[in-house]
Every structure is written in structure tokens, then in C-alpha cells.
């Protein structure tokens, strides 16, 4: 099981959210990670935090604080660097 985990803060009917997840999937050939989708419209605190930024990609690794990597569009270089950094 992968120690690297991504959370995509999204909402229903969001084509940018779908595009971000699809772009993230391209990294699966070389990296092991999990992806969780969370709908911000189902949680008032998340809605207040991320409403206008959706989709938002957050990367998580054990023993390290979660890191917001990008929003709207996948930051390919940022995700690549996050995946290459050691756990």
C-alpha cells in the first residue's frame, strides 16, 4: 500500500475536477499513490475554505504536514517534485 495520498477537493459536475484527476492518473505508471475525492459542497467548513478554488489538490505523506499543491489545474512540476521527495 502506498504511503503517498492525494485529496482532490471537488464538487459535482466540475469538469476541471475531472480533468485534474485524469491528469494525476498519468503519474500512476511510475508512482504508487492513492486518490480521494471530497465534495466541498457537503461540508460547510470545506466550502468556506475551498469554494472558489475548486479543484484543490492536497498531497499527504506520513509524518509530514499535508501540502496544498495546486488548484484549478494540475501543477505537473509540483506534483512530480512532491512524488519524488522522500517519505
Task: Tell me the pLDDT tens digit for each residue of 37-75.
Answer: 999 999 999 999 999 999 999 999 999 999 999 999 999
pLDDT category of residue 85 using cuts at 50, 70 and 90: confident
Residue 32 lies in a domain: yes
pTM, whole model, 2 decimals?
Answer: 0.93
Residue 15 lies in a domain: yes
Sign of the alpha-carbon torsion through 33, 54, 46, 41? negative
Residue 27 lies in a domain: yes
Closest-CA residue to 50 (of 5, 16, 3, 78):
16
Beta strands 34-39 and 5-10 are parallel
Provide the total of helices (H) and of strands (E) in the chain, helices listed first.
3, 4
Beta strands 34-39 and 67-71 are unpaired
Residue 38 lies in a domain: yes
Domain region containing 72: 4-77
Residue 45 lies in a domain: yes
Domain count, the chain: 1
List of residues 6+ apart from 17 with CB closer than 8 A: 8, 10, 11, 37, 54, 55
- The CATH number of whichever domain residue 45 belongs to comes to 3.40.30.10
Amino acid at each position: 500500500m502506498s504511503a503517498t495520498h492525494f485529496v482532490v477537493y471537488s464538487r459535482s459536475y466540475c469538469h476541471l475536477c475531472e480533468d485534474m484527476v485524469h491528469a494525476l492518473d498519468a503519474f500512476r505508471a511510475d508512482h504508487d499513490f492513492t486518490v480521494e475525492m471530497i465534495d466541498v459542497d457537503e461540508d460547510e467548513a470545506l466550502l468556506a475554505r475551498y469554494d472558489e478554488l475548486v479543484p484543490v489538490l492536497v498531497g499527504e505523506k506520513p509524518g509530514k504536514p499535508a501540502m496544498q499543491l495546486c488548484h484549478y489545474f494540475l501543477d505537473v512540476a509540483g506534483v512530480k517534485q512532491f512524488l519524488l521527495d522522500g517519505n
